[in-house]
Structure 1
Amino acid sequence: MHPKIPSVEIYSVTIQTADVQQTDTIENIEMTIHGSNGKIDKLLLKDHIKSDKQKIFQQGNLDEFEIKNEDIGDIESITIGFDDNEQKFAWLLESVDIKYKETVYHFQAQCWLSSRLGPNFSWITIKPDTYNDNINYKVTVEMGDSQLDANVILCIYGDKDVTKNLPLRTIKDGTRVKFDKDSRLEFHLKDVDVGKIEKINIGHDGKGNEQKWFLKSIEIEKNDEYYM
């Protein structure tokens, strides 16, 4: 009796790069898909592109990939990112969608990936939205004598966990943010509950023509807690 050969399944992957200025072209993006019955390990995504695009993972791009693999069960998480020992690249990943059979798994990232931010910060592991227990953060930023075009990033550290590198790019009504002189900006973010907030890390990537940056204060509200 011959052993049963596993059937090959198709995983359709769509990756949205955020519509903000990125650094040089990043081609070595890899992804691992973790399932309930196994995993698809460290795929070099450019080898699975569906079209003949010359450049992928560019500002505002929606790139499609097709992966053939045996069934790994329900998708529980993905790990995506790139190696960058020279600290040359930064990539703002908006989201990832994986369609397998009749199910679409949505992974909301909204996160800067860059080894400039620290060891392993060019990689992220994300659970699909149906598994997430994220909470809301209300972040209010008050500026002084500032005029900034760059991309601003916030990371919140707590006694239980740490958030992703969260981009501060749209205020609560959805309009594009401007870090102008004496502005007071309110952001609504979603991420893991870090517990009691112990510290934050905030900065920008130095892009754009205006680099004048004076930060007066930051206020963070989550659940019934207030931090300043």
Structure 2
Amino acid sequence: MLVIIEDIGNKCVYQFPVGRWFALDEDDGKIQRDILVGGTEATGIVYNVAVVTGDIRGAGTNSKIHVILHGSKGLKNSGKIFLEGGEFERARTDLFNVEIAALLSPLSRVTIGHDNCGVSSGWFCEKVVVYCPFTGIEQTFPCGKWLDEDEGDGLIERELYEMVSLRQKRLKKNPWSLWIWTSDIKNAGTDATIFFQIYGDKGKSDEMKLDNNSDNFETGQTDKFMIELPDLGNFYKLRIWHEKRNPFAGWHLNKVTLLKTLTKEKYSFNCGRWLDINEEDNEIVRELPAEGSLVTEVMPVIKYRVTVCTGTVSGSGTDANVFVCLIGDQGDTGERVLYNCINTVNKFEKGNADEFFIEAVTLKQVRRVRIGHDGKGGSSGWYLAKVIVREEGQPESEAVEFPCYRYWKQCLQIKSLSLHLPDFEEPSCWSMTGIF
């Protein structure tokens, strides 16, 4: 879709390309959008809006609620935004992500109202809370009044002003546009929920789940999301995965692109591979090195051969699902469930030395191993002797050994432990997280 506006007096024509759905059951479920002149790339800033309905009799409403966010000087505003999908029931907090093309935070005021339609149109609004991840400012706008023609002063729209004493300063996060291209080959699409995590030279994000109101990740489809990230520095890798281990959940990912909304910094992550238990190496997780003009060096993808040695004492083996995370001088692999053993059929039996491949963007020197299990199965207790890690193709003399010689009893609450080289301390920046 394209909107064209002609300024007759100044003899100018402005084009606003859209190319997005306006539908409750498509794309991100929005039926209104801010579009900037000339560009198809998203430039919106996301505001998290929480609307609290009061806890008094009859407080809820069936009317359509709208909100207007006003900038700090009152000169700019968001325009009327309809809050689709909210319940607005008694004592309920409805959450919305509002995307507009202007930075208004901190807000001077909020306008909230409804269309007075429906059987029970009157509404008691307790308060509105607005958080702008870009500035890190959370503002509270108390109301505590009816928006009802038959109650109080009869108003169905009100101006709300901030209670400054409740203002909070949270971690600043920047808006990013995320595009995911599913390949245009047979059966490339998936109905699985997709997760991903970003790594930069200043830290890593939280694990994020990608979901919206429509059918994502269909064959040949490009899906777009708005996400928020703290300052992670320059990106160097992305890990993307799903958790469905069944024959119909396979997914062929073409590529991923990240664009910083305000500065247009752009990163590409090329894949062109299956995340499928029945294809290629049967893995459902991929690590992709960052590429683009901002990347000085594209990091290599390495296969690590991980040998897990179960002890030889009585009852050493386990039926539980075992996971491992390799931690090195440059990041970690995330937790990987050890399903695809390359040398044995019955994994983690007494005296076994089970081998697995873990593919990841290079960690450089592997310094630590975190290993554990989920405690499931009739015999989940496990005696782990050691873990051996080396890069595939490197001589065995280059292998790094992590001794354990400990037993996890089924009754213990602790299901994992860390094995590490002497004199290794995890860099503090690895603990930085971003909230999705």
Calculate the TM-score normalised by the size of structure 1. 0.54
**Whole-Å Cα distance in 2 between the matches of residues 202 and 192 of structure 1?**
19
Q: Summarize the Cα distance change of 1:172–1:221 in structure 2 as closer, same or farther, 3 Å threshold.
A: same
Residue 148 of structure 1 aligns to a residue in which SS?
Answer: coil
Q: Report deviation, 1:106.
A: 3.5
Contact residue 151 and residue 168 of structure 1 kept, 8 A: yes
**Whole-Å Cα distance in 2 between the matches of residues 3 and 152 of structure 1?**
55
Structure showing greater radius of gyration is 2
Partner of 2:19: 7
Partner of 2:323: 153
Contact residue 168 and residue 187 of structure 1 kept, 8 A: yes
What per-residue deviation string (whole Å, max 9, x for no partner) do you get for residues 82-138 of structure 1? xxxxxxxx94689753469xx984375745xxxxxxxxxxxxx95379977211211
Q: Summarize the Cα distance change of 1:30–1:110 in structure 2 as closer, same or farther, 3 Å threshold.
A: closer
Question: Matches of residues 175-194 of structure 1 in structure 2 within 5 Å?
Answer: 177-194=346-363
Contact residue 328 and residue 366 of structure 2 kept, 8 A: yes
Q: Summarize the Cα distance change of 1:146–1:92 in structure 2 as closer, same or farther, 3 Å threshold.
A: farther
Partner of 1:127: 288
Partner of 1:227: 400
Partner of 2:176: none
Q: Summarize the Cα distance change of 1:45–1:14 in structure 2 as closer, same or farther, 3 Å threshold.
A: farther
Instruction: Please tell me the residue identity of whatever aligns with 1:7.
Output: G
RMSD, aligned α-carbons: 4.5
Q: Report deviation, 1:147.
A: 3.0
Q: Summarize the Cα distance change of 1:11–1:200 in structure 2 as closer, same or farther, 3 Å threshold.
A: closer
Contact residue 137 and residue 220 of structure 1 kept, 8 A: yes
**Whole-Å Cα distance in 1 between the matches of residues 18 and 377 of structure 2?**
51
**Whole-Å Cα distance in 2 between the matches of residues 11 and 221 of structure 1?**
33
Q: Which runs of 5 or more residues in structure 1 are unaligned?
A: 18-26, 33-41, 51-62, 71-75, 82-89, 112-124
Q: Which runs of 5 or more residues in structure 2 are unaligned?
A: 1-12, 22-179, 183-187, 198-207, 226-235, 256-269, 276-282, 292-297, 402-436
Partner of 2:335: 165
1:106 aligns with 2:283: no
Question: Matches of residues 34-73 of structure 1 in structure 2 within 5 Å?
Answer: 45=211, 47-49=213-215, 64=218
| Same amino acid, percent of matched pairs | 23
Instruction: Please tell me the residue identity of whatever aligns with 1:45.
Output: D
Question: Matches of residues 66-105 of structure 1 in structure 2 within 5 Å?
Answer: 91=243, 96-98=251-253, 105=272
Q: Report deviation, 1:6.
A: 3.8
Q: How many residues align?
A: 169
More strand by share: 1
Question: Matches of residues 204-219 of structure 1 in structure 2 within 5 Å?
Answer: 204-219=373-388
Instruction: Please tell me the residue identity of whatever aligns with 2:347.
Output: K
**Whole-Å Cα distance in 1 between the matches of residues 345 and 352 of structure 2?**
14
Contact residue 106 and residue 128 of structure 1 kept, 8 A: no
Contact residue 287 and residue 360 of structure 2 kept, 8 A: no
Q: Report deviation, 1:207.
A: 1.9
**RCO comparison, higher one (Cα < 8 Å, 6+):** 1
Contact residue 327 and residue 369 of structure 2 kept, 8 A: yes
Q: Report deviation, 1:188.
A: 2.2
Instruction: Please tell me the residue identity of whatever aligns with 2:15.
Output: P
**Whole-Å Cα distance in 1 between the matches of residues 308 and 346 of structure 2?**
11
Q: Summarize the Cα distance change of 1:218–1:45 in structure 2 as closer, same or farther, 3 Å threshold.
A: same
Partner of 1:87: none
Partner of 2:310: 143
Residue 213 of structure 2 aligns to a residue in which SS?
Answer: helix
**Whole-Å Cα distance in 2 between the matches of residues 217 and 127 of structure 1?**
29
**Whole-Å Cα distance in 1 between the matches of residues 380 and 399 of structure 2?**
30
**Whole-Å Cα distance in 2 between the matches of residues 200 and 193 of structure 1?**
15
**Whole-Å Cα distance in 1 between the matches of residues 239 and 365 of structure 2?**
26
Residue 206 of structure 1 aligns to a residue in which SS?
Answer: coil
Q: Report deviation, 1:198.
A: 1.5
Residue 300 of structure 2 aligns to a residue in which SS?
Answer: coil
**Whole-Å Cα distance in 2 between the matches of residues 43 and 194 of structure 1?**
24
**Whole-Å Cα distance in 2 between the matches of residues 157 and 104 of structure 1?**
23
Instruction: Please tell me the residue identity of whatever aligns with 1:136.
Output: K
Q: Summarize the Cα distance change of 1:203–1:97 in structure 2 as closer, same or farther, 3 Å threshold.
A: same
